[in-house]
């Protein structure tokens, strides 16, 4: 009986890193599929063109946002899906992605960042990317600091 329990525990432990790596890889593959031009609409209906492209030999995905010329870079780090957001707030939050069980939502949570002197400094704390289909997705950005939180949700439609 002890032998069976040990086998079950060992197989669970050995399957966890592979599962995380598979999730990170599949999440990154989903981001690669976003390469192209997208039209975003914010909650007020204001349009903006955003582009996604593969860079660095396909090892990173760059999202260029016209608002204040912001850029977000996505990449794998072994079994983690990471992003760095180069923000108009003049800081660079680093976030780690968590893929939902259905694979349609990636939630990026703040890990650390540069040019953020203290936790109460304003910075992006979370971004939730949800894929509806090949031609539609949304991003929900959460900016916080100093006890305040601001949320902006963008709805995207593929242009090309």
* Domains of the chain, first to last: 2-158 (2.40.128.20)
Entry pTM: 0.84
**Most distant CA pair in the chain: distance in Å?**
64
Does position 99 have pLDDT exceeding 80, yes or no?
yes
pLDDT of residue 14: 38
DSSP class of 13: H
Q: Are 126 and 102 in contact (CB under 8 A)?
A: no
Q: How far is CA 111 from CA 97, 108, 123, 156, 159, in A?
A: 10, 9, 12, 26, 32
Whether residue 32 has pLDDT greater than 50:
yes
| Rounded mean pLDDT, 63-77 | 93
The number of residues making up the chain comes to 160
Instruction: Say whether pLDDT at 118 is over 80.
Output: yes
Distance CA 33, CA 127 (A): 18
Percent of the chain with pLDDT over 90: 73
Greater confidence, 18 or 84? 84
8-state DSSP, 31: H
Q: Compute the average pLDDT of residues 85-102.
A: 96
Query: In the prediction, which pLDDT does 12 show?
Result: 35
Identify the residue with better confidence: 1 or 157: 157
What DSSP letter does each residue of 43-69 carry, written as one string?
TT--EEEEEEEEEGGGTEEEEEETGGG
Mean pLDDT, rounded, of the chain: 87
Write out the two tokens for 12: 């669970």
What is the model's pLDDT at position 151?
95
CB within 8 A of 50, min separation 6: which ones?
A: 37, 38, 39, 40, 63, 64, 65, 66, 154, 156
């Amino acid at each position: 009986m002890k032998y069976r329990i040990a086998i079950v525990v060992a197989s669970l432990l050995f399957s966890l890193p592979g599962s995380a790596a598979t999730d990170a890889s599949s999440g990154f593959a989903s981001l690669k599929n976003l390469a192209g031009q997208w039209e975003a609409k914010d909650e007020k209906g204001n349009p903006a063109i955003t582009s996604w492209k593969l860079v660095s030999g396909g090892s990173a995905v760059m999202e260029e946002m016209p608002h204040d010329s912001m850029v977000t870079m996505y990449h794998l780090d072994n079994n983690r899906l990471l992003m760095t957001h180069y923000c108009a707030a003049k800081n660079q939050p680093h976030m780690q992605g968590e893929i939902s069980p259905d694979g349609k939502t990636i939630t990026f949570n703040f890990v650390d960042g540069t040019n953020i002197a203290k936790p109460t400094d304003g910075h992006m704390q979370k971004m939730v990317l949800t894929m509806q289909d090949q031609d539609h997705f949304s991003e929900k950005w959460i900016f916080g600091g100093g006890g305040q939180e601001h949320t902006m949700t963008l709805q995207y439609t593929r242009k090309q």
